[in-house]
Amino acid sequence: MGSRQAGETRELDGLRHEIEELRASRARLALAADAERRSIELALHEGVQQQLVGIAASLELAAGSVDADPAAARELLAEMGRDTRQAIEETRRLAHRIYPPLLETGGLVAALRSAAANANVPTRIDVAEGSAVPPEIAGTVYFCCVAVLERAPAGMPVTITVRTEKGALRFQIVMDGDVAADRLALRDRVEALGGRVTLRSEPGRTRVAGSLPRAG
């Protein structure tokens, strides 16, 4: 009887620990989402918004000098063109932080290639053909890969592999270097959809391996 009670106690302790881990994970996800929203709001306010204010002011100046000083007006218009292109690029970059449109229009491979190019990291991407991946699963794999790519030194080779096995989507990121990715952030993102992920760093190599149920 004592052995049985001890076993039940251990089981209850294990369940309590899992519940506490789940609560902590959800809290970290909420805090991370809030921090990301604040970061995007700040970038919009101090970046794109200020650029648009400057463009509006330049437009008024150009309109007022078209007749009196055509050369100055042309110079202002050229400057407005440069500022507009910068604002568009900044808006595109912020949109990708929220959710990359390439995931829907081009798929996971296209989105990963774009992320690797933006990070200036030579990347070999091997995604097996198969049935469509639910968007929340594809997004989780994408953001896990981006979290590693963004921390990789420029020029460091990276290999990303994605496979479907036994009803699960398995992914692996391997790079020749020790990259200090946020283990808890990776784990929280994957486990929120019922998956599992591990990150191993050793001298000269970093490996992230994860698995997500296809049903989400």
pLDDT digits (tens, 9 = 90+) for 165-212: 888 899 999 988 776 666 778 888 888 888 999 888 877 788 999 999
Across the chain, mean pLDDT equals 81
User: Which of 98, 127, 161 is at the close of a domain?
Assistant: 98
pTM given for the model: 0.70
Distance CA 96, CA 39 (A): 14
In a shared domain, residues 20 and 78: yes
Specify whether 154 is located in the same domain as 195: yes
**What is the model's pLDDT at position 52?**
87
CATH code of residue 125: 3.30.565.10
Please check whether residues 133 and 205 belong to one and the same domain: yes
- Which range marks the domain in which residue 138 is found? 107-213
